[in-house]
A and B are shown apart, each in its own frame.
Chain A
Amino acid sequence: MKKISRRSLLKGMGVSLAGGIFINGVLSNSATGEEKIMPGMQMPLIPAPGKTRVVILGGGFAGLYCATTLRNIAPDVEIIVVEKNPFFVSGPSHIDFVAGLKHLDDISRSYDPISARGIKIVRSEVIHVAADKKYVITAGGNIEYNYLLISTGIRIADEDVLNLIEQPASNSHAWELGESMEMRKRVEAFKGGRLVLTVPTAPFKCPPGPYEVACLLREQFDKKKIKAEITIVDANDKPQPGPLAQKWTGVLESRNIKYMPNSKVIEIDAAGKQVITDKGDKISYDLVSIIPPNKAAGFIKDSGLGDPFVDVDPATFKSKKHDSIYAVGDCAKVPYTKSAFTAAIQGKNVAYNIAIAMGRDVKVPDPIYNICYPYVSSTEALMVRVDWDKDGKMLKAEADDAKKDYASSRAVWESGLIQGLFGA
């Protein structure tokens, strides 16, 4: 047997100790839902970049519009999109889906057309961003980057409603695909009674969404002659977005939808079929849809990039802490509405800003604006438009009453967003 020298032994111990410190140093000790970083995650998932590499976290509208725009204006750059879901789902259509107006095929797309443009789609979940070392740790391993875009959208914070995590089957909502599928089943099985929909405190994704769901379900139930008492329990002091409150209160009154403002749901009692508000009110239900608070993925806070949203300059979307990191869409701390439309524009804009940072000769992108057509029924929608200047200061805003034309515009609006990425 070969003798181990004292020098070798000390060297080996030093290496082990250093390795242990390294692994412990990147262990995540944070909140519910975060995974610990296992040694396997330290291995490269993709080899080190041979050319300028842009890694995009999140394959929603914002991330994909950045990827496809960058592919056009910087064709030589390597682009990798990290996405945890196996296919794309259009956010706005979750509302149509739960109300039975669309099927899954209508609202989902394969990522193949994106890959066909020379954009790598990596299916994995982000665990941490080692910003100082310029790599991302995913469940499948490390990915190094030259530029990083974070566009991971919102995270539904179930942990902020007491008992919700322990009783997940008690709830469903239209803010995530899995929950939407469950909510649709429950809506189809609903035979009548009390439907309670809750709204979290702003900001949340798709501000008119909860009220749209209420209106569409009222229409569905009336059509099927199902007697339903629909109540919206709203953590906000008025329907959102705030500037539409006057229109929304009129719409909700006309549809006999009860509205409870300034009432935040803080607990669910699934056995007793009631939700409890911060005022102590207990509201009984036969079917409940709690939308928990909308936050951002935990790795953003854990990686020191913001709390909970990534801290960025609203003009360039560049992180205020790291020059090579950008963030757009619902996960970024920006004054723009959390909507699919602004996410798409932000995605395009940030592609130009990243290209400028690379030294490419491209135009400075136009400022952000939002246009939205909130449903008041399956055939009528409101219209709202907001424009901001390049620094994120609001310039102008307008709204219009519900019209059939706007429901058609909504269809065109969303299909345009999808076709811009997938071609059909």
Chain B
Amino acid sequence: MRKIAYCLSTICVVFAAVILIYCLIYWCDTSLLKAEGTLPLTEVSPTISNTEKVKEKKVDINKGIVAFVEINSSAPSTVYLMYPAQYEKYMKSGSPESVLEFKDITWLFYPIPALLEDQTVYFVTKGDVAFNITYENIQERIDRLFSGEEQVRAGTEMLIDKGINVVRLTQLIPGLKVTFDFFSKSEFVVIKTIDLARYRKGLKGFDQLSNENELKGSNDHFNFTTSDFDDRYLLIRTENPGKLKYIIRATKESAESGC
């Protein structure tokens, strides 16, 4: 028994020493690389957790076609959108750093136009999601828009917490029709960027912003038409967590505004 215990303790000591030496080598290596400037000065971002269900979807779009990617999820999910170079980096590092991210969404409607060349994008999702992709000819779509047809441009449904939430509405150009549906009657106000900055800084509160802005209300539904190119943010105050859905529709006027 004593011999067995001795062997086990020796093995543990050796193992610990190996780990220590490995860590020392890694630390030295990393420090040297940083000193040479080969490694970025910032910390490496965390990778996508292996414990969550990760799904990948590659979408190829031919030049002249726009793909509308619709994603549905029964529970709030995170969706990353990557271009090929970003996807390659993600495959090597496991990190979705520096890519477009949609958090806590239960529905997403996102256009990917291939105006100048064939496009490939990758969707990497955490959570149980279903994809539905439709394709349209860009020129035909523009023609219909110019003839007066209203077209869904983008949309999202997301989970929001109780309290005050901030939702960015972008990319806005004049003539877009924005529609909101809230899970229950909520107080809301639509503000511009500088007011968001003041709100975040504690210089203005929800009530003051509500007094100062025209686009506001207390309801479970709201819509307005954009009149300029300014980004806008929805501030919504709610008693309980729930879902918020917004849809942005393009019109002939928005087509003439261009971007």
Q: Which residues of A contact B (CB under 8 A)?
A: 159-162, 193-194, 201-203, 227, 229, 235-238, 242-247, 249-250, 252-254, 256, 258-262, 264, 266-267, 276, 278, 280, 293, 295, 307-309, 314, 333-336, 384, 391-395, 397-399
Pick the residue among A162, A253, A307, A334 that contacts B227 (CB under 8 A). A307
* Interchain CB contact under 8 A, B228 and A308: yes
CB-CB under 8 A from A242, the residues of chain B are 113, 115
CB-CB under 8 A from A307, the residues of chain B are 227-228
Flag whether B231 is at the interface (Cβ < 8 A): yes
* Interchain CB contact under 8 A, A246 and B40: no
Binds A, one of B18-26, B189-197, B242-250: B189-197
Pick the residue among B97, B143, B233 that contacts A278 (CB under 8 A). B233
* Interchain CB contact under 8 A, B85 and A397: no
CB-CB under 8 A from A259, the residues of chain B are 98
Report B221-238 residues with CB < 8 Å from chain A CB. 227-231, 233
Flag whether B15 is at the interface (Cβ < 8 A): no
Flag whether B48 is at the interface (Cβ < 8 A): no
CA distance A201 to B121 in the complex (A): 22
Flag whether B117 is at the interface (Cβ < 8 A): yes
Please tell me the size bucket of the interface on B. Answer: 35 or more
* Interchain CB contact under 8 A, A236 and B171: yes
Q: A245-B83, A392-B256 are in contact. Are A229 and B42 (CB under 8 A)?
A: yes
CB-CB under 8 A from A393, the residues of chain B are 142-143, 146, 255
CB-CB under 8 A from B166, the residues of chain A are 278
Q: A201-B231, A243-B116, A266-B200 are in contact. Are A278 and B168 (CB under 8 A)?
A: yes
CA distance A118 to B245 in the complex (A): 60
CA distance A313 to B193 in the complex (A): 29
* Interchain CB contact under 8 A, A162 and B170: no
Pick the residue among A194, A201, A244, A261 that contacts B99 (CB under 8 A). A261
Q: How far is the CB of A303 from chain B (nearest CB, A)?
A: 16
Q: Which residues of B contact A (CB under 8 A)?
A: 37, 40-42, 83-86, 88-89, 97-101, 113-117, 119-121, 139, 142-143, 146, 166, 168, 170-171, 173-174, 192-194, 196-198, 200-201, 227-231, 233, 255-259
CB-CB under 8 A from A236, the residues of chain B are 170-171
Q: List 22 A-B contacts (CB under 8 A).
A: A202-B259, A203-B258, A229-B40, A236-B170, A236-B171, A237-B170, A253-B85, A256-B40, A259-B98, A262-B100, A266-B193, A267-B197, A278-B196, A293-B193, A307-B228, A308-B228, A308-B229, A333-B257, A334-B258, A392-B256, A392-B258, A398-B116
Q: How far is the CB of A385 from chain B (nearest CB, A)?
A: 9
A202-B171, A267-B197, A334-B258 known, 15 other contacts, Cβ within 8 Å: A162-B197, A201-B170, A201-B231, A203-B259, A238-B83, A243-B114, A250-B85, A252-B85, A258-B97, A259-B98, A266-B194, A266-B200, A276-B197, A391-B146, A393-B143
CA distance A139 to B115 in the complex (A): 45
A253's closest neighbor in chain B, by CB?
Answer: B85
* Interchain CB contact under 8 A, A335 and B170: no
* Interchain CB contact under 8 A, B255 and A335: yes
